[in-house]
């Protein structure tokens, strides 16, 4: 392919969507990065950091669930750009406010609001880019968005570790201010982006747009929608449990040295960016989305086992396992692309926005299941192993059961979605 044919990949919609996702990931993962220092600063005792952290994470993901539906419907009814403007304004202001919280209750409210705002960015951006690029470049475009965006986790960790000596605010607070400020600056770049031609043409047709319940009116459509959600289940199991609570897993695995969630997230997201590049380009080379996703789901299973039963108890090697986990779940860009390509223009934003947020929302039942399993395994093994060893065993084997379950569900779901490589995006969903 000549260089001129790649030129659309550097168009304004792709660049702005990539930068938007960068800010989105920064703000989305910032709580996981600053969970411990922020809660300690708010007076939460050490023995409650895990439980309070899980609770706040579930609240944020609940906001993403709600926002995924709201912004998805709005994207099909009012346009992709309205979502890009509205969502980034909401989560930018909410994240600035997060830096001023003085109690856990305030934190809960603002993480929920931020979650609603964060739900709109990725789906609207991918929808806009998918409709703007030719079919043979679509996979490359979404891969660029994901790869650039995932680096937001790296920057978030670096900012959180920066010491601002002259400031009256702590590093975790300034991290929130930086994220909100970047979002507000991004609004300026958004002014130059135009709506996609496909969406403008669809507005001239007498069809229902953004009807969320239309996803449930046909069995085949519902199965595809659920399939799009569940193929991503292992991704947020890894991020929401194994990586977010890496400090606690390191303790259970008797890792020598200090492990911080921020570093674990950073290395896993570097791996995720590498995986997204590999899966995105592979899907273009082999002209298949499903085959590549199948391979990466199997890789994820192998890497989950490797993480939970790592043979080396060194902190640096533990971070290597986080990187490897990230590579395994590096089909995030394909996952979102598949969702956008499955459905017609009148439901595309609704699906592309709600699907990634529904899968983020699965962190809620996954963490509850993980808590149930680790508590019951702890109680079962405590008489024979003692309290400390039983607690570690409950953590490791509880996480293994949840992880294997997510992989099995994802593999089954993959069978029920269409192969969409090269599909023409100019079609609508009929009643």
Q: Is 60 exposed, middle or buried (0-12, 13-18, 19+ CB in 10 A)?
A: buried
d(CA 52, CA 271): 28
**Rounded Cα gap, residues 344 and 325, in angstroms:** 33
The per-residue pLDDT for range 272-293, each reduced to its tens digit, is: 999 999 998 899 899 999 999 9
- For residue 200, the model assigns a pLDDT of 65
Residues 176/98, Cβ–Cβ less than 8 Å: yes
Tens of pLDDT, residues 77-97? 877 677 778 888 899 999 999
The DSSP element (H or E) to which 389 belongs, if any, is helix 387-414
Per-residue model confidence (pLDDT) at position 1: 46
Confidence (pLDDT) at 189: 72
Q: Which of 268, 229, 238 is nearest to 354 (CA)?
A: 229
Q: What is the mean pLDDT of residues 24-28?
A: 89
Give the per-residue pLDDT at 303.
Answer: 97
> What does each C-alpha distance from 291 to 56, 73, 84, 154, 269 come to in angstroms?
36, 30, 31, 29, 23
Pick 195 or 418 by higher pLDDT.
418
Q: In this structure, are residues 92 and 141 in contact, taking their beta carbons and an 8 Å threshold? A: no
Query: Which tens digits make up the pLDDT trace of 104-122?
Result: 999 999 999 999 998 888 7
What per-residue confidence (pLDDT) applies to 90?
92
Averaged pLDDT, 391-400: 96
| CA–CA gap between residue 265 and residue 271 (Å, rounded) | 10
Residue bearing tokens 């199997």 = 298
Half-sphere exposure of 142 (CA within 13 A, CB side): 32
CB atoms within 10 A of CB 102: 10
Read off the pLDDT band of 401 (50, 70, 90): very high
Distance (Å, whole) CA 354 – CA 83: 13
What is the Cα–Cα distance from 75 to 429, expressed in whole angstroms? 16
> What is the C-alpha radius of gyration for the chain, rounded to an integer number of angstroms?
21
What does the alpha-carbon distance between residue 94 and residue 60 come to, in Å, rounded to a whole number? 12
Burial class (CB in 10 A: 0-12, 13-18, 19+), 49: middle
Confidence at 410, pLDDT banded by 50, 70, 90: very high
Distance of alpha carbon 336 from alpha carbon 357, whole angstroms: 10
pLDDT for 190: 67
DSSP string, 355-380: HHHHHHHTHHHHHHHHHHHHHHHHHH
Q: What is the mean pLDDT of the chain?
A: 88
Given this model, what pLDDT does residue 166 score? 60
Place of tokens 């199948």: 294
User: Phi and psi (nearest 5°) for 271?
Assistant: -60, -40
The 10s digit of each residue's pLDDT in 238-253 is 999 999 999 999 999 9
The residue among 374 and 138 whose pLDDT is bigger is: 374
Q: What is the pLDDT of residue 370?
A: 96
Q: Residue 241 has what DSSP assignment?
A: I
pLDDT tens track for 291-344: 999 999 999 999 999 999 988 899 999 999 999 999 999 998 888 889 888 888
- At 204-240, the pLDDT tens digits run 666 666 677 888 888 989 999 999 999 999 999 999 9
Give the CA angle between residues 244, 391, 254 to the nearest 5°.
65
Would you tell me which CATH number, out of the four given (3.90.1260.10, 1.20.1250.20, 1.10.390.10, 1.10.3210.10), belongs to the domain 3-198+213-414? 1.20.1250.20
């Amino acid at each position: 392919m000549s260089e001129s044919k790649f030129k659309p990949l550097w168009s304004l919609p792709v660049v702005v969507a990539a930068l938007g996702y960068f800010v989105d990931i920064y703000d989305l993962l910032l709580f996981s990065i600053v969970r411990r220092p922020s809660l300690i600063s708010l007076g939460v005792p050490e023995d409650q950091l895990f439980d309070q952290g899980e609770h706040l994470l579930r609240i944020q993901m609940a906001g993403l669930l709600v926002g995924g539906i709201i912004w998805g419907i709005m994207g099909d009814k009012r346009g992709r750009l309205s979502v890009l403007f509205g969502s980034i304004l909401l989560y930018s202001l909410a994240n600035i406010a997060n830096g001023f919280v003085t109690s856990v209750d305030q934190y809960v409210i603002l993480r929920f609001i931020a979650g609603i705002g964060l739900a709109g960015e990725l789906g609207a951006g991918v929808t806009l880019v998918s409709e703007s690029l030719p079919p043979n470049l679509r996979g490359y475009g979404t891969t660029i968005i994901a790869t650039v965006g995932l680096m937001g986790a790296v920057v978030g960790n670096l900012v959180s570790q920066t010491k601002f000596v002259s400031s009256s605010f702590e590093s975790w607070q300034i991290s929130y201010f930086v994220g909100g400020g970047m979002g507000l600056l991004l609004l300026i770049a958004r002014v130059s982006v135009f709506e996609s031609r496909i969406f403008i043409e669809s507005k001239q047709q007498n069809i229902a747009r953004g009807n969320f319940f239309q996803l449930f009116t046909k069995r085949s459509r519902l199965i595809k929608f659920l399939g799009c959600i569940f193929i991503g289940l292992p991704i947020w199991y890894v991020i929401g449990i194994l990586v977010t609570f890496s400090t606690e897993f390191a303790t259970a695995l008797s890792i020598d040295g200090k492990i911080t969630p921020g570093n674990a997230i950073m290395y896993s997201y570097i791996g995720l960016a590498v995986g997204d590049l590999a899966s995105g380009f592979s899907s273009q080379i082999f002209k298949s989305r499903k085959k590549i996703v199948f391979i990466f789901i199997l890789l994820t299973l192998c890497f989950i086992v490797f993480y939970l039963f790592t043979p080396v108890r060194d902190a640096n090697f533990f971070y290597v396992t986080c990187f490897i986990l990230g590579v395994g779940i590096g089909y995030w860009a394909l996952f979102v692309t598949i969702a956008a390509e499955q459905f017609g223009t009148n439901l595309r934003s609704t699906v592309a926005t709600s699907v990634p947020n529904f899968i983020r929302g699965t962190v809620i039942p996954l963490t509850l299941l993980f808590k149930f399993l680790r508590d019951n395994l702890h109680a079962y093994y405590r008489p024979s192993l003692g309290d400390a060893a039983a607690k570690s065993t409950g953590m490791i084997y509880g996480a293994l059961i949840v992880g294997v379950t997510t992989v099995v569900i994802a593999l089954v779901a993959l069978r029920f979605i269409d192969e969409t490589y090269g599909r023409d995006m100019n079609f609508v969903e009929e009643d």
